[in-house]
Structure formats: C-alpha cells, structure tokens
Amino acid sequence: MERKGGGMEYEMTGKVYLVGAGPGDHKLITLRAVELIQHADVVLYDRLVSKKILSMIPKKAEKVYVGRAVGDDTTHQDTTNDLMVKYAKSKKNVVRLKGGDPIIFGRGGEEAEFLKLHNIKYEIVPGITSGIGSATYAGIPLTHRKHASSVVFVTGHEDPEKKKEIVKWKRLAKSVDTIVIMMGLSRIDTICKQLVAGGMDKNTPVAVIQNGTTPQQKMITGTVSNIAKLVRQNKIVPPTNIIIGNVVELSKTIGWK
C-alpha cells in the first residue's frame, strides 16, 4: 500500500502498518486507519480493539488475535514480532492494530525497532490514546488556563523485567498539575500513598474512568486519600484510566456524557 502524489494507490509491498485504533468509541478512529484496515491482507489486533472496528476488516483479510492481558507471559511479544515479519516477507500488507495510540504505552516503538532490524518497511499511524479520550468524554480538561499548565502520562504497570521501578511517584507529587495514570488500577493504593509521601495534598481530586468513551463508561471520583477504597467499593475493573489533579473537579460543570 503506497501513497503516491498525495492520493492512494495499493501495491503488494509487504509493509507493516502500526495503527492506533483509538480509545474505545469506534467513531474516534482516524480516516487513515480505516483506509489501511479496509485494504489489509492481514490484521494483527489487540484485545481492546472494538468489535465495530474489527467489522471493518474485509472478509478476504486474515485476522489474527495477538492480545495480551496484564500478567501474561512477556514472551507473547516475541510471537507478535515474528508474525509481523513472516507476513511482510510473504509480500502481504499487515496492519498491526492497537487500542489507543501505538506508541503511547503500546509497544509500538519496540515493534518498529524490530521491523527496522529485519529490514521490513513500516508506517506508524497515530490514534487517540485512552488517557486523552477518557478524560475528554468525562468532561475533564487535562490542561486549563486557571488550573493546570502541565500534564504527565504515566504507566502504573511497568515491565516486570525491570530491576527497579522507574517512575518517581514522590517527585511527581509536586512537579506537575495533572497526572494521567494508565494501567495502574491494581496499584492505585500504593501509588496514592507515594504521592502523599512526596508532598501531594491528601485532598487532591482523583477520577477513575472505566471503559472510557464507550457506552459502558463509568467514572468514580474521590481524593488520593480515599480513592483506593472507593475503587473496591464500586467494583471498578480494567480497562481504566486514573486522573489526578484539580481539573477533575471541572467534570461537575462541563461533563457531557
């Protein structure tokens, strides 16, 4: 699939497209992503890609599920990498379809490195990351002239192969206005305690958004001192995004979903 002269022409090139499917609502996928899906020979897709987006895949295309849940064997990624190379070397156009954005906590960077190492042509297509989509659908502006001039996106679940945790939660506590935590639900109690230990006001507002941008979206709010308890009481489960900062309070006035 090659673009020439600003238009679209399709060739059997054996190319891999690392494509972001967006945060959940299928209408938030990009035109470029839809274009590639509809002309793919093979689609390797993750578990968070919606059924409505999967229905866009042509019947002639091969669909391969390569989803991975938290806690699964890390060697799973090796299989995905090998499949991309195998199909590309067979002169097939491969769409590696990921929830959210492919290079925001999505291993897209690692996959691009692997493809480069094996001399496979590739293109990276951005998508709306769930941290932004969930916040927007909940009426939480991650930045705001009066309340937040800085925002940071952090993973709450680091690679288990790391010898020590890289995220410096205590330092983040007083260095940024809004913190967006992805994949952090199972560690929310520990994270909040570290933020308070780092100097964050224990009454700082927190929102936890489950299934953001979908019809099943659910949000609970609290503070860094009680949100872990509220998560348990409300039986919140992944996928979730956690937003910490004064901007959470704005959802009371501008929330629209």
Domains and CATH numbers, the chain: 2-128 (3.40.1010.10), 131-254 (3.30.950.10)
The H-assigned helical ranges of the chain are 31-38, 51-54, 76-89, 108-117, 130-137, 169-172, 188-197, 227-233, 251-254
Q: How many CB atoms are closer than 10 A to CB 6?
A: 5
CA atoms within 13 A on the CB side of 210: 12
The packing angle between helices 108-117 and 76-89, to 10°, is 50
Given a cut of 90, whether residue 144 has pLDDT beyond it is yes
pTM for the predicted model, two decimal places: 0.89
**How confident is residue 257, by pLDDT bands cut at 50, 70 and 90?**
confident
* Rounded average pLDDT over 136-163: 88
Structure tokens at 102: 């492919």
Structure tokens at 254: 């501008």
Average pLDDT, the chain: 91
Q: What SS3 class is residue 130?
A: helix
* Rounded average pLDDT over 13-38: 96
Cis peptide bond upstream of 160, omega within 30: no
Look at residue 164 in the predicted model and tell me its pLDDT.
65
- The answer to whether 38 and 18 are in contact (CB under 8 A) is no
**Bridge pairing between strands 218-223 and 205-210:** antiparallel
pLDDT tens per residue across span 47-77:
999 999 999 999 999 999 998 765 555 567 8
Given a cut of 90, whether residue 173 has pLDDT beyond it is yes
- The answer to whether 44 and 17 are in contact (CB under 8 A) is no
- The answer to whether 5 and 82 are in contact (CB under 8 A) is no
- Residue written as tokens 């629209």? 256
If phi > 0 it is left, if psi is from -120 to 50 it is alpha, else beta; for residue 109 that is alpha
Q: Which of 31, 30, 141, 43 is nearest to 95 (CA)?
A: 43
- The answer to whether 10 and 17 are in contact (CB under 8 A) is no
Instruction: Tell me the CA distances in angstroms from 161 to 154, 157, 167, one per residue in order.
Output: 18, 11, 15
* Rounded average pLDDT over 149-167: 78
CA dist., res. 127 & res. 113, Å (int): 19
